[in-house]
Amino acid sequence: MTAQIIDGKAFAATVRGQVAEQVARLKSDHGITPGLAVVLVGEDPASQVYVRSKGKQTVEVGMNSYEHKLDADTSEADLLALIDQLNADPAVHGILVQLPLPGHLDEALVINAIDPAKDVDGFHISNVGLLATGQKSMVPCTPLGCLMMLRDHLGGLSGLNAVVVGRSNIVGKPMAQLLLRDSCTVTVAHSRTKDIQEVTRRADIVVAAVGRPEMVTGDWIKPGATVIDVGINRIDAPEKGEGKTRLVGDCHFDSCAEVAGAITPVPGGVGPMTIACLLANTLTACCRANALAEPEGLTA
């Protein structure tokens, strides 16, 4: 069996197109433009690239982009004061503080200072609790993107067995909650799970989000299963030359693709969906703030 490739790059482009259509409608019908504020503290190169990409895509779908770049030694008080200012700004519908933060800043304190209604990352403790109890919340972008791709590929998920490999607060736990909400039977596996290969081999859906390069191999996969690989790991690639590296997922792509019915590649799978869902979340937050109908197909 050769797995169907789930093209996250193409799907993300479709989502961005849907967001752009909704943004144009908000402007023409209501005179409202959604606004996303991104806060970057310090000069982490990967974070800088990510923030630039977010800003570019925000503008491309017709939203207002507000970037706040702070020095690495910015005090906690000054960062919290900026968040308070953004919370009170009616032109800002979504707030994202780029992680990781410098070591002297308390990430949990900073995230929980964001107005939950503007928390487009879905990390605020209120949104975590609302998601866990099946109430309306802001949903973390990466799990939301995975859910969208699963729904698109499989249709209804009700009754399917799903295994999430990884229990992080950012991906694993919210992913499990979303799958439960779509009536999957969900197992969360992790580094302490006994006979983990046997656990994953029973799954119709495997979401790998453990942060270990190529950990999940083909003999872990049930024939015909759908595999969503969230991992982005850089490993040595001596075949490319001395000092060269390449990106791989948490799944060993070639062996898993021989068994699975469908699989996301790395790169080009889940990654592009994360920013697309950030834009979708900002649109949703704007609609909720103005008591307007939420965009169909762009929320959980």
Query: One of 22, 115, 118, 121 is an active-site residue; which one?
Result: 121
Structure tokens at 147: 């859910």
Query: One of 54, 118, 173, 222 is an active-site residue; which one?
Result: 54
Q: Is 185:159 a contact under the CB 8 Å cutoff?
A: yes
Amino acid, single-letter form, for residue 13: A
Three-state secondary structure along 161-176? EEEEECCCCCCHHHHH
**CA 144, 145, 147, 152 torsion-angle sign:** positive
**Which residues are 288's β-sheet partners?**
none
Going along the chain, which residue ranges are E strands? 4-5, 35-41, 64-70, 94-97, 161-165, 185-189, 205-208, 226-229, 233-236, 245-248, 262-263
Q: Is 54 a catalytic residue?
A: yes
Look at residues 183, 196, 194, 296 and name the one whose alpha carbon lies nearest to residue 250: 196
Q: Is 195 a catalytic residue?
A: no
Query: One of 22, 98, 119, 222 is an active-site residue; which one?
Result: 98
Q: Is 172:213 a contact under the CB 8 Å cutoff?
A: no
Q: Is 98 a catalytic residue?
A: yes
Residues forming the active site: 54, 98, 121
